[in-house]
Amino acid sequence: MMSRSKRNSRNRIAPIAKILIFAAVVAAVLWIGATGLAHERLDGGYFSIVDENNQVVYLTGRAVDVGDQVLTENNRRYEVISLEGDTARAKFIGEVNLSQYLSQEDRWVWNRFLTLPRAYAAASNPKVAIYHTHSDESYVPSDGSESKKGAGGIYAVGSAFAESLKAEGITPILSENKHDPHDNMAYERSRRTALSLVKQQPAAIFDIHRDAVPPQVYQGKVAGQDISKVQLVVGKYGPTGKQIEDYAMKIKAAADKKHPGLVKGIFFAKGGDYNQDLHPRSMLLEVGAHTNTKESAIKGIKLFADVIPPLVGKAEAAPVSPQQAGAQAGLGTAQAGASGASRSIGWILGLMVAGVAAFLFLSTGSLKEAQSKWKQFFTTEFANFFGPKSNKTDQPDNEKSSDEQQNK
């Protein structure tokens, strides 16, 4: 039989257990929502971004949030200010003159915007890494389905990119690792692949996807060919957000000069990360949409490969070991730390613990009593959760005294 003091103790601690469970559920919901906003939509829909005159200026299958920005094909920049269903309302920020990026390239002043460790500087035969976070993505007209688990048509686009880069004198590092299923944790799974690629010291790294919008959004005629255009995606959440933004501007400037109309635009995700914190020349590409043909996407990525050589440079780099590279910048090593989603989990759990501690202090009125309740919760509640104590511990005090007298 349980003593009255133990019952009262359990009654006092029970609300704490409920609060902890509730806080854990809230944290999980918040985290799932945060990662969803940072990635693309999974419901098959897409967003129409409209300006102040209600004119559609951009379409994307990515999840859009207030604060996200886009640079259109004709280099007009907008920022999302509100969401109404599948419509994102945006304000016009201004025209962007990309010629400044070209002039910086011509004068070799690129390091003003993008400072690379020497280990990552391009050599005479630079390397470019390629992988696919969403290994199922496919093209309906060519593949018969928009998704093929572990064998998406997107692999053919990546292979065509690698072959075209090789023809340009660049050494491709192509990964065909699978990261299914297609969910918001795919970037966590592909992070290991990205790390392994970065350790091979590429001059740049590309994560190749396809979008999910109507076919006309990406259809184009460039260099006399019917192709699918390319969209650049920049994650602004990570520590390299500004570097990646400048890198994307550099790419679009070069593409506009060599193959006008090839780059559909740039999507700047305020809450996105996309593992771009691992390398300052990391870029997410979307080549066509699921409604375009795979063949047109392959033509588009081959033209895009023409743009890359000047962007990775031809300067010789002194040999640097992976250990030295990690010491210089922490890129591609354990020092690079967790991804943006993982860091968000840490913050949420930290706030949850702080909130519980504050509740205990306010409910008890003293730090000493709060510590006592916290200790009781873990010693009593957890012990009872993993298994009841022996009957002897629950024996009333008067029964213990009687037993002691009989033993004497």
pLDDT tens sequence across 200-250? 999 999 999 999 999 999 999 999 999 999 999 999 887 888 999 999 999
Q: Are residues 161 and 260 in the same domain?
A: yes
The pLDDT score that the predictor gives to residue 2 is 56
Cα 390 to Cα 22, 313, 384, distances in angstroms: 31, 73, 11
Say if 55 falls within a structural domain. Answer: no
Residues 241 and 115 in one domain: yes
Final residue in a domain of this structure, among 332, 354, 380: 332
What is the pTM (predicted TM-score) of this model? 0.71
In 3D space, the residue among 212, 127, 119 whose CA is nearest the CA of residue 165 turns out to be: 127
Shared domain check, 298 and 327: yes
Same domain, 133 and 157: yes
In terms of Cβ atoms closer than 10 Å to its own Cβ (0-12, 13-18, 19+), residue 310 is middle
383 and 293 part of one domain: no
The answer as to whether 233 is a domain residue is yes
131, 160, 180, 147: which is closest to 285 by C-alpha?
131
Intra-chain end-to-end CA distance of the chain, in Å: 25
Under 8 Å CB-to-CB from 354, ≥6 apart: which residues?
none
Q: For position 260, which CATH number holds?
A: 3.40.630.40
Asked if residue 362 and residue 251 are part of one domain, the reply reads no
**Does 206 map to a domain?**
yes
Q: Taking CA 92 as the corner, what is the angle to CA 86 and CA 95, rounded to the nearest 5 degrees? A: 130
User: Among positive and negative, which fits the CA dihedral 27, 29, 32, 38?
Assistant: negative
Query: Is 44 domain-assigned?
Result: no
CA-based torsion, 102, 107, 108, 110: positive or negative: negative
Count of the separate structural domains present in the chain: 2
398 shares a domain with 279: no
Question: Looking at the structure, do residues 322 and 369 belong to the same domain, yes or no?
Answer: no
pLDDT for 247: 96
Q: How far apart are CA 342 and CA 36, in angstroms?
A: 13
* Opening angle at CA 310, ends 305 and 314, nearest 5: 120
Report the distance separating Cα 37 and Cα 40, nearest Å: 7
End residue of a domain, out of 332, 367, 396: 332
**Confidence at residue 29, expressed as pLDDT on a 0 to 100 scale:** 40
Is the domain of 265 the same as that of 174? yes
Range of the domain at 184: 71-80+86-332
Backbone dihedral angles phi then psi of residue 171, each to the nearest 5 degrees: -90, 110
CB 206 within 8 A of CB 240: no
Last residue of a domain, one of 309, 332, 355: 332
39: in domain: no
Q: Examine residue 56 and state whether it is found in any structural domain, yes or no.
A: no
Mark whether 386 and 317 lie in a shared domain.
no
337 is a domain residue: no
pLDDT at 125: 81
Report yes or no on 52 lying in a domain.
no
Indicate whether 384 and 298 sit together in one domain. Answer: no
CA distance 356 to 362: 10
The residues of the chain scoring below 70 in pLDDT are 1-40, 42, 103-124, 314-408
- Are residues 328 and 347 located together in one domain of the fold? no
